[in-house]
Amino acid sequence: MSEQPGSVVGRPLAERYETALYGLMCYRELTAFERLSSDARFSPTLGDREALARLAVAEFGHYEAVRERLLARGADPEAAMEPFVAAIDALHERTRPGDWHESLMKAYVIDAVSGDFYRAIARALDEETRLLVSAVQSMEEQTGWIRGRLRAALADDPRLASRLALWGRRLLGEALTQARLIGDEHDFWGNLLPHGSGEEHREVISQLFAKLVQNHSRRMGALGLTA
């Protein structure tokens, strides 16, 4: 690792992390688009189909933004995404929604956990990266819409509530497992604490994951569900 004095992470190393983070985000946004838009077809009403489609299109907009950033850095977007294809495809395969509500819940949970994870990784990177990560992940309007729709559905149906609570835990578990594997494989932890020992890295990871779980619990609480 070629550290430069005076910065948290030396520039060459930071660039490698940035490219990796962008590649991860880029591929996740592309697949979020594909999955959400595929699921849209099974929505109960035309209005619901349109709403999921619109969420999907927003994800594609994020994909385009991150991709442009990779191009601006002289990186090849496909090459940057490639290392994350298997892990993210596996996450999707393990979390295929059974119906429209599960699709909504998947978008609600996975987008948020991913966003928290990206923000944590970006914390040690430059301002421009932090801003891009925030811009891509701030889907306030969309998240508000999903929350409202889920709350309305849950209020009417206690059986749905118990099913979606279980589904939410499953989604969280899969998202955390993938985040852990990806972080290990791409040494994102080294980015968070460049000079740390193995023990210190474990502590950082543990704090990060505790935070991810805590935020998730808060979001499930906002639906009236227990995480």
Residues forming contacts to a copy of itself in the complex (CB under 8 A) are 27, 30-31, 33-35, 37-38, 40-41, 45-47, 49-50, 53-54, 56-57, 60, 63, 67, 77-78, 81-82, 85
Minimum distance between the CB of residue 40 and a copy of itself, rounded to whole angstroms? 6
CA 95 to chain centre: 14
Q: How far is the CB of 66 from a copy of itself (least distance, A)?
A: 12
Residue type, 112: A
Minimum CB separation of residue 56 from a copy of itself in Å reads 7
CA-nearest of 94, 110, 93, 97 to 42 is 97
Nearer to a copy of itself, 37 or 114 (CB): 37
Please name which of 7, 8, 1 lies closest in space to residue 193, comparing C-alpha atoms.
8
Q: Supply the DSSP string of 104-122, one letter for each residue.
A: HHHHHHHHHHHHHHHHHHH
Q: Count of CB atoms within 10 A of residue 222's CB?
A: 13
- Least distance (Å) from a copy of itself to the CB of residue 64? 8
Tokens of 174: 């899969």
Q: Which is nearer to a copy of itself, 77 or 168 (CB)?
A: 77
- 174: number of Cβ within 10 Å: 20
Q: What's the token pair of residue 157?
A: 């149906």
Closest CA to 142 of 38, 213, 227, 59: 59
On the 0-12 / 13-18 / 19+ scale of CB atoms within 10 A, 46 is: exposed
- Contact criterion met (CB below 8 Å) for 130 and 122: yes
Closest CB to a copy of itself among 88 and 153? 88
Closest to a copy of itself by CB, 37 vs 191, is: 37
| Residue closer to a copy of itself, measured from CB, 81 or 208 | 81
Q: How far is the CB of 81 from a copy of itself (least distance, A)?
A: 6
Q: How far is the CB of 93 from a copy of itself (least distance, A)?
A: 12
Question: Of 29 and 174, which has the nearer Cβ to a copy of itself?
Answer: 29
The CA-to-CA distance between both ends of the chain, in Å, stands at: 39
Smallest gap, in angstroms, from Cβ of residue 168 to a copy of itself?
25
For a copy of itself, the closer CB: 31 or 191? 31
